[in-house]
Structure 1
Amino acid sequence: MNTPTANNATIATPGKVDYVEPRYYFTFFTMCFAMFMVILDIQVVSASLTQIQAGLSASTDELPWIQTSYLIAKVISVPLSGFLLRAFSTRYTFTFSAAAFTVMSIMCATATTMNEMIFWRALQGFVGGPLVPAVFATAFTIFPRSKQYLIGSIIAIVATLGPTLGPTIGGYLTETFSWQWIFLVNIIPGIFVTITGWRLIDFDKPNLKLLEGFDWPGLFGMALFLGALQYVLQEGPREDWIESGTVTAGMLISGAGACLFFWRAFNAANPIVDLSAFRVRNFWTGATFGFMIGVGLHGLTYLYPIYLATVRDFSPLMIGTTMIVTGLAQLATGPIAGRLVLILDLRLLLGISFATFALGTWQASYITNDWGFYELIIPQILRGSSIMLALAAVNIITLGTLPAERLKNASALYTLMRNLGGAVGLALINTGLNNRLDLHLARLNEQMSWGRYQVEEALTRFTESFAALNSDARLAALKKLAGIVRQEALVMAFADLFLALTACFLIMLVLLLIMRRTERY
């Protein structure tokens, strides 16, 4: 293996011979399918929350905890997975996680109360957390440098298709069968993945000596830090942040947990999470790009369905049909991305992808209240293709420059950064949407003063249309006008958020100047 120089980072290769046994390809593709299941399970549930609420007789306040419990547990187990993969090996960790994830999916489908659903969803998120880091670590361990362009593209496709196809698959299963099927659909693939992983994964061995002197304080601090942080990010926008006592308490708990976690990470002989990968320039810059990819991937997967549901009144299936354009663009771009990493400087490819993403969100900033499938085609194509190109490049930049012995832990950190990007992005988007809605609503209300010709004309027209209500016609007209004003304010808030995302992705281009060039394949 070549040694990185000051100006040129070299992509690590696990072996000198480029030949890879065919069964390793099959094993890797199977592991990627497990990764797809875990990522998909976040968005597939979001499309069916209303039906789950009705089926479990849940209150509106309880409903978000179906997602919150899953994400809190997952964000704790992802960084822990680096230690688990090193201590118990990929075979035992991956197989247990896949089997447990399948069992938890069955339990979620059989839940009869909201408390049961929240409990099983939390366990599902925790046991499924190690599956994604295991795929990243495997990809850059068993495949030589000459194969990593192909492997990186496959991972990019899987990582992006899960969030994109989630609303489509969830909407179809819910409307065609019932909400239970969004969980039951995991059973057969889960069994297949578990058996395949147990029989074919054999490229590393357990190192049980790592369990000696296990860093329990570090684990406790990490759980408090990341768990409370995820809660704050999920509930903060709904509870108006520091105006809520529970959110404020979550901030304090997260801060205290962070102090304990980082103290142990820098001082313990065998810390629960090794942060030394952040000393590598390409790792921390690549992880930062991964964070921003999480913002864009999960943020727009959230924004578009919210717009289509609240402004256009689309059904879950119609939303899924509209969103599938992004998935098709990602599939079409996958083979192209695989070739481009061979031709272009990966930093240039990453810059092109972020600029393309910014172009797509800039076009989306011209959104109006009548945008639908056709108006969103170009922004979604730009989004899908750019995310695919970005992940194909950044996966190699971030992990391909590390030696094999550091990949398991680094893969967990990289996955955590992308997950945190999604969580932080959604929190900021929710807060921004509420704040900009209030601002535009206040400004539009100032224009709705009595005596203005346009206002009086609209009220008269609406009143006449509600003539059958007799004395209530005027009140119904006022309500309709207020609804129109609110809808326009909401659309303007969406446009502001698209512009903000455009600025964020353009600013990230500056970070490319810090990255080191990776050796071309």
Structure 2
Amino acid sequence: MEVLDTTIVNVALPHIAGNLSTSYDDATWALTAYLAANGIVLTVSGWLGRVLGRKRYFMICIAMFTVCSFLCGMSQNLPELIIFRMLQGLFGGGLQPNQQSIILDTFPPEKRSGAFAITALATIVAPVLGPTLGGYITDNASWRWVFFINVPIGIAGVLAVAALVEDPPWAQKRKSSIDVVGLSLIILGLGCLQVMMDRGEDDDWFGSPFIRILAFLSVTGILGAIGWLLTVKKPVVDLRVFGDRNFAVGALLIGAVGFVLYSSAVLVPQFSQQVIGYTATLAGLVLSPGALGIIVLIPFIGQVLKRVQARFVIAFGFFIMGAALMYSAHLVLSIDFRTLVFYRMAQASCLAFLFVPISVVTYQTLPKELNGDAAALFSMMRNVMGSIGISCATSLITERTQIREAHMVHWMTPFHQPYNDYNFHTRQYLTQLGRSQASLDGGVTHQIYQEFIQQASALAYNDAFHTFAVACFAIVPLCWLLSPNKPGGGGKAPAAH
């Protein structure tokens, strides 16, 4: 429910802007507010769980996320929606880390791969289904139902947690002083980073004074938080977890997964809608079969982990992800729906080889009392890198489109025969449609310009897929930094501090 809300709103933004009588650019603040608040709380959720008690905090998060979802759907103007989305992000940020901590404390190491496989269905499939579900709801009902669908699920979730979840002794409520300085630096650093990444493309990145100020505050806050948290006696987040090599490498790898997952989930529907003219629903349907691939493969991965070391599976996952992205870099304007679906299925299916093994190996050498902080930082890395991935994807498309246009324009000249041939055929086509001789020149120029823009855009998307493929191949050697574990998750892995 919470992960779904990071992507389901994207396709509803034009409808929200129109219904609330605001611009699309202003409506995107509803997404920015959610991501900023979510990123901040992800980091400190372990501390909040210690102060309130993990079960109590988990139930508060589910209940208030549900209430805020209802209020978002009832919003009558944009300021109301932004405020309720920010509150939704604040309470939603505590769900993922608490869920992981509960799994870590409930299941012994040899059974964690199966537990993480179940939750991976939600964590990986939700961002994939978000645009599909959001597109269908907004096209056939109202954007408000994008939020209202959370209400019955949230009510059922609160009742289920109240009945089934119990806190172990180390996760129960206990007194803890408030690290005001550390908390303030985290809010400053991560809040400004999320806003900068979400608004950077629209505001021309460092050409904008607003983005430069956010960048300065972000770096100051993050570096200041790291320095403070490493020296204070009772930090709001215990960074000692990064002293464990498996956790440090695992957090880096899950960040890479988030980067690839969210960036690729943006590229395919964006190409479908903006370049070849699909509706929001049809563009979302391109993503849906990829979710089926994940669902089919995840049980298989659980069996593989019983026989093969997790680091081998992870390395293989990043390699085939790179190969899938290279395979996807063959977009053309005449591409059919089925081919687009195959491209997306190849990309999404690879995630099954990454999420579960990384989740298992990351925590294998951590002491139980650090699970709360570790789960918070693990989720934070995935979400923050996912946000960066979305920004990188959109920026890369813009930059590569401009580069491709600058290269292609040299061939749009009467001295280049293919250009003359295209010009001639276009003129004939418009004449057959009944265009007057007086309007032919303008019509031909417009037709060629439209084709020029579309061709440059298609090439830019191919360049983006090539870039992300190279990034996946570059990550493969990092997998060998993980310590070898006994297949099946049983037994103690070698020390990795």
> Normalising by structure 1, what TM-score?
0.90
1:51/1:226 Cα in 2 relative to 1: closer, same or farther (>3 Å)? same
Contact 1:90–1:204 (Cα < 8 Å) also in 2 = no
State whether structure 2 residue 116 is matched by structure 1 residue 157: no
**Residue 469 of structure 1, CA deviation:** 5.1
Quote the residue 1:23 is aligned against: none
Which sits farther off after the overlay, 302-311 or 43-52? 43-52
Quote the residue 2:459 is aligned against: 492
**Residue 66 of structure 1, CA deviation:** 1.7
Quote the residue 2:176 is aligned against: 211
State whether structure 2 residue 465 is matched by structure 1 residue 501: no
Quote the residue 2:447 is aligned against: 480
**Residue 451 of structure 1, CA deviation:** 4.0
Deviation digits for residues 43-69 of structure 1, max 9, x if unmatched?
Answer: 111121111111111213202212111
SS of residue matched to 2:479: helix
SS of residue matched to 1:253: helix
Could you tell me how far apart the structure 2 residues matched to 1:435 and 1:403 are? 46
**Residue 369 of structure 1, CA deviation:** 1.5
Quote the residue 2:407 is aligned against: 443
1:62/1:469 Cα in 2 relative to 1: closer, same or farther (>3 Å)? farther
Name which of 45, 64, 71 aligns with 2:28: 64
Equivalent residues in 2 for 1:224-373, closer than 5 Å:
224-373=188-337
State whether structure 2 residue 432 is matched by structure 1 residue 468: no
Deviation digits for residues 107-162 of structure 1, max 9, x if unmatched?
Answer: 11011111111111111111110100011111111111232121121122211011
**Residue 242 of structure 1, CA deviation:** 1.1
One-letter code aligned to 1:211? S
**Residue 208 of structure 1, CA deviation:** 5.1
SS of residue matched to 1:319: helix
Contact 2:75–2:81 (Cα < 8 Å) also in 1 = yes
**Residue 210 of structure 1, CA deviation:** 3.9
SS of residue matched to 2:305: helix
Could you tell me how far apart the structure 2 residues matched to 1:494 and 1:393 are? 30
State whether structure 2 residue 176 is matched by structure 1 residue 189: no
Quote the residue 1:47 is aligned against: 11
**Residue 259 of structure 1, CA deviation:** 3.3
SS of residue matched to 2:236: coil
Deviation digits for residues 438-481 of structure 1, max 9, x if unmatched?
Answer: 00001111110234333233334334416535533321221121
Deviation digits for residues 299-334 of structure 1, max 9, x if unmatched?
Answer: 111000000001221111111221111101011111
Could you tell me how far apart the structure 2 residues matched to 1:224 and 1:328 are? 39
Could you tell me how far apart the structure 2 residues matched to 1:381 and 1:343 are? 26
SS of residue matched to 2:337: coil
Deviation digits for residues 2-34 of structure 1, max 9, x if unmatched?
Answer: xxxxxxxxxxxxxxxxxxxxxxxxxxxxxxxxx
Cα RMSD over matched residues? 1.5
One-letter code aligned to 1:520? P
Contact 1:341–1:392 (Cα < 8 Å) also in 2 = no
> Normalising by structure 2, what TM-score?
0.94
SS of residue matched to 1:211: coil
Contact 2:65–2:92 (Cα < 8 Å) also in 1 = yes
Quote the residue 1:512 is aligned against: 479
Could you tell me how far apart the structure 1 residues matched to 2:383 and 2:336 are? 29
Equivalent residues in 2 for 1:162-181, closer than 5 Å:
162-181=126-145
Deviation digits for residues 240-282 of structure 1, max 9, x if unmatched?
Answer: 2110010001011112212331232012111111111111111
Could you tell me how far apart the structure 2 residues matched to 1:462 and 1:421 are? 45
One-letter code aligned to 2:135? G
State whether structure 2 residue 391 is matched by structure 1 residue 427: yes
Could you tell me how far apart the structure 2 residues matched to 1:401 and 1:58 are? 51
1:64/1:470 Cα in 2 relative to 1: closer, same or farther (>3 Å)? farther
How many residues are matched? 484
**Residue 384 of structure 1, CA deviation:** 2.2
**Residue 382 of structure 1, CA deviation:** 2.4
**Residue 100 of structure 1, CA deviation:** 0.4
Contact 1:140–1:400 (Cα < 8 Å) also in 2 = no
Could you tell me how far apart the structure 1 residues matched to 2:363 and 2:134 are? 32
Could you tell me how far apart the structure 2 residues matched to 1:383 and 1:451 are? 42
Contact 2:259–2:388 (Cα < 8 Å) also in 1 = yes
Could you tell me how far apart the structure 1 residues matched to 2:334 and 2:248 are? 42
One-letter code aligned to 1:496? D
1:259/1:384 Cα in 2 relative to 1: closer, same or farther (>3 Å)? closer
Which sits farther off after the overlay, 452-461 or 495-504? 452-461
Could you tell me how far apart the structure 2 residues matched to 1:499 and 1:469 are? 44
Could you tell me how far apart the structure 1 residues matched to 2:130 and 2:303 are? 27
**Residue 400 of structure 1, CA deviation:** 2.9
SS of residue matched to 1:343: coil
One-letter code aligned to 1:216? V
Quote the residue 1:3 is aligned against: none
Deviation digits for residues 361-399 of structure 1, max 9, x if unmatched?
Answer: 010112211223211343323222210121110000112
Could you tell me how far apart the structure 2 residues matched to 1:343 and 1:55 are? 54
Could you tell me how far apart the structure 2 residues matched to 1:373 and 1:468 are? 32
SS of residue matched to 2:200: helix
Name which of 350, 358, 370 aligns with 1:406: 370
**Residue 483 of structure 1, CA deviation:** 1.1
Contact 2:317–2:351 (Cα < 8 Å) also in 1 = yes
Could you tell me how far apart the structure 2 residues matched to 1:305 and 1:479 are? 26
Name which of 140, 153, 166 aligns with 2:104: 140
Could you tell me how far apart the structure 2 residues matched to 1:97 and 1:493 are? 41
Could you tell me how far apart the structure 2 residues matched to 1:57 and 1:202 are? 47
